[in-house]
Structure 1
């Protein structure tokens, strides 16, 4: 059955006119005349059988149907442009993966290891996008993502990569002259809260046998990198994944005041369940599994 699809010229004219709320501005962007843009939009409306714009005293505005359609068209054109650039860049060789990743894990763990992926799969290109929280794949343009959590996540399939061990860290000046404190003493210090994990400290104290700590108090930070620098600056105690702090511990900028780790989350490679997996995603998964195999043992508590 022949697909009933509008031409790209119609979609480009509509997207530009919708974005600018102006046929004149769209024409200038596309190097067309205003009447040419108007004809393309009119042809699209005739094809759809639905008005996408309405006239106002100041020009044009999208109808409700136009607003909904614009979201889909803009996303589809972005995806098409990204694929064109990707194919041009790779010149048809190898594959690529659009990968969403939690920011600090991406910068501190994943990116430093990517040279190994390039050596192993020189024709595989990985494009990284920051995603601090779970999301819907159909709205993202991503092929896969790395999540921290326990799952399951509806509409996805998840591959376990490695556990996450979180430990408390602080500036040595915060507990000086001591180098270690008890969990109950730790509860009396300023606690740095992670916005994406509001109950992390409560879970850590419970696992350490302290159930009456005021574990929700303290300044809140969106990213682990913010909490890490706040801890170095002496603003409080941060609860951090152990892979993040090795350099600061070795340099003496941070210490582990309590030798207790909580490991109730893991890192997962997540892909949409309703999409046929590409060879590029399969290659990335295998490389991640191989890399993470060496990270499933050990930790940083001995440095504290």
Structure 2
């Protein structure tokens, strides 16, 4: 049973959060379309309810305590979740909304081209996508599921295996020219922050003596791919990214293509959402799509 003392009215929390974010009661009042005295009174009421001081008063200034700043971060997340939920309900009052965290390259190059099929088969479900490069707390962020790379080890979550990553080394045709492979591998080897062992895996799979990767470091495949196309070095790309670039002549594969990478793509979801209908529908659809296209590659 929730204790009413620790469930302040949203107007009190909104005033507190607005002052904290804007730095003054006057600025918060303008944002909330209230008078400054009303904002001050709302904060005082919140302090009385919590039994703690949130701001030190210095003449006309409100200076938040360290505890208030920590509390404010929680309140900001809570208000964001309430706003998101209200917006989703307004857009789809049937409640059929799936909020999915995606990896940028996977989302734009693998999932997005296929997502129309899911939406066509499930017209009552809205899908909201947001990129996340690293793991996060499902309960804090409010996502129903996430696309995850690595192992099936997301805390307190269930997993659906999509496919193992397979890698192809690619170079721009202009940079390749008539050079030998040995010459090409002296060029910078472009790297991804989350795949620092990828080149050593690739060298071993090719039966080549490993050399240290000394190229630029990227946080996303999209920018690394463009750097390779621009001739800044050799890129090691997942097959679902390399395929189109190779077919359209922007990049050329080196040696044996499609070698096993260092991890797997998964759909992960919190155990608390396992029976959420839009998520159940999405899982079933995604499992079918993956079963029809090994390693995420299609012949389309």
Instruction: Give TM-score scaled by structure 1 length.
Output: 0.90
Cα gap change, 1:159 to 1:299, in 2 (>3 Å): closer
Cα gap change, 1:53 to 1:292, in 2 (>3 Å): same
- Is the aligned partner of 1:95 residue 2:96? yes
Aligned residue for 2:201? 203
Out of 21, 28, 32, the position equivalent to 2:30 is 28
> What is the alpha-carbon distance in structure 1 between the residues aligned to residue 58 and residue 22 of structure 2?
14
Aligned residue for 2:3? 3
Aligned residue for 1:282? 280
Deviation at 1:138, TM superposition (A): 3.2
Aligned residue for 1:192? 190
> What is the alpha-carbon distance in structure 2 between the residues aligned to residue 48 and residue 75 of structure 1?
19
Unaligned runs of 5+ in 1: none
Aligned residue for 2:244? 247
Cα gap change, 1:22 to 1:298, in 2 (>3 Å): closer
Unaligned runs of 5+ in 2: none
Deviations 1:167-189 (Å, cap 9, x if unpaired)?
A: 101112323226x73xx665323
Deviation at 1:277, TM superposition (A): 4.1
Cα gap change, 1:56 to 1:276, in 2 (>3 Å): farther
Residues 50-89 of structure 1 aligned to structure 2 (within 5 Å): 50-56=52-58, 59-89=61-91
Q: Over aligned residues, Cα RMSD in angstroms?
A: 2.2
Residues 254-293 of structure 1 aligned to structure 2 (within 5 Å): 254-260=251-257, 261-275=259-273, 277-293=275-291
Contact 2:22-2:28 at 8 Å conserved across structures: yes
Question: Residue 79 of structure 1: SS of its match in structure 2?
Answer: helix
Aligned residue pairs, count: 296
Aligned residue for 2:111? 110
Contact 1:50-1:65 at 8 Å conserved across structures: no
Question: Residue 245 of structure 1: SS of its match in structure 2?
Answer: helix
Instruction: Give TM-score scaled by structure 2 length.
Output: 0.91
> What is the alpha-carbon distance in structure 2 between the residues aligned to residue 195 and residue 242 of structure 1?
18
Contact 2:100-2:143 at 8 Å conserved across structures: yes
Deviation at 1:297, TM superposition (A): 5.6
Cα gap change, 1:67 to 1:276, in 2 (>3 Å): farther
